[in-house]
Amino acid sequence: MSLEALKEQAAIKAVSHIQSGMRVGLGTGSTAKYAILELARKLKEGELTDIVAVATSIDSERLARENGITVLDLDPTPLDIAIDGADEISPSLDLIKGLGAALLREKIVEVQAREFIVIADHTKLVSHLGQKAPVPVEVVQFGIQSTLQRLARFGEPKLREKNGELLITDNGNYIADLRFSHPNPIALEHSLKSTLGVVDTGFFLGMAARAIVAHEDRIEEFSR
């Protein structure tokens, strides 16, 4: 089965946790896209009603609206559920997110969900964070070289580019992808968050309540 089909399976399973009347956080990326499309399908076919959503990126907001989902701005009312992909999922359900550059809005939305469900194909499972992926760090544009020098204390930062230009996030910032070997993500997250110029990081520690991971032969579901 293709990875795309596995992503879709995980997404469809996650959307089965949404009930009519819920406020839903919509993730960003190629896996989250399938959840948005499945939610739209269920609304169109009347399997779900009275759903309002909050999106974690301009792209996801556009996709949701184009497919008939009502998207609101985030306000302080809790969300019932949020569904999003990840770049790495550890056995204790800690995550690296943000290879799709939406980490800041994702964190702001998903921290407000009563249940944050992470969805993925099996290639995202790792024994420890940083095994395969760098941690994306959202940084302000001003003084970027100084911020990169500060980040170099923690690993190897590389500014992300897209189409030959520096990538700019929906929030007007850059992303520095940081390769690290630090054994303790909690301590590293703390150090990064106190580094001048850093807005936030792609460490999502203790946030996901449940993972739905599609393997070739089964869908695995686990909670913290």
Residue 106 annotated among the catalytic residues of the structure: yes
Write down the catalytic residue from 8, 38, 61, 106: 106
Query: Closest distance between ligand 5RP and the C-beta of residue 118, in Å?
Result: 8
**Which residue's CB atom is positioned nearest to ligand 5RP?**
100
Q: Which is nearer to ligand 5RP, 50 or 220 (CB)?
A: 220
Task: With beta carbons less than 8 A apart as the criterion, state whether 219 and 10 touch.
Answer: yes
Instruction: Please state, in angstroms and as integers, the Cα–Cα distance from residue 47 to each residue in 19, 26, 41, 80, following that order.
Output: 9, 18, 8, 18
Could you tell me if 192 and 180 are in contact, meaning their C-beta atoms sit under 8 angstroms apart?
no
Helices 58-66 and 30-44 meet at what angle, rounded to 10? 30
CB of 20 to ligand 5RP, least distance (A): 26
Provide the minimum distance between the beta carbon of 44 and ligand 5RP in the complex, in angstroms, as a whole number: 23
Instruction: Provide the residue type at 190 as one letter.
Output: H
Interface residues with ligand 5RP (CB under 6 A)? 27-32, 84-87, 97-103, 106
Tokens of 167: 């990538």
Nearer to ligand 5RP, 30 or 195 (CB): 30
**Is residue 85 a known part of a binding site?**
yes
Q: Distance of CA 61 to CAs 32, 46, 51, 105, 187, Å?
A: 12, 21, 14, 12, 33
Q: Is 100 annotated as a binding residue?
A: yes
Residues annotated catalytic, as ranges: 106
Summarize the annotated binding site as residue ranges: 28-31, 84-87, 97-100, 124
Summarize the annotated binding site for substrate as residue ranges: 28-31, 84-87, 97-100, 124
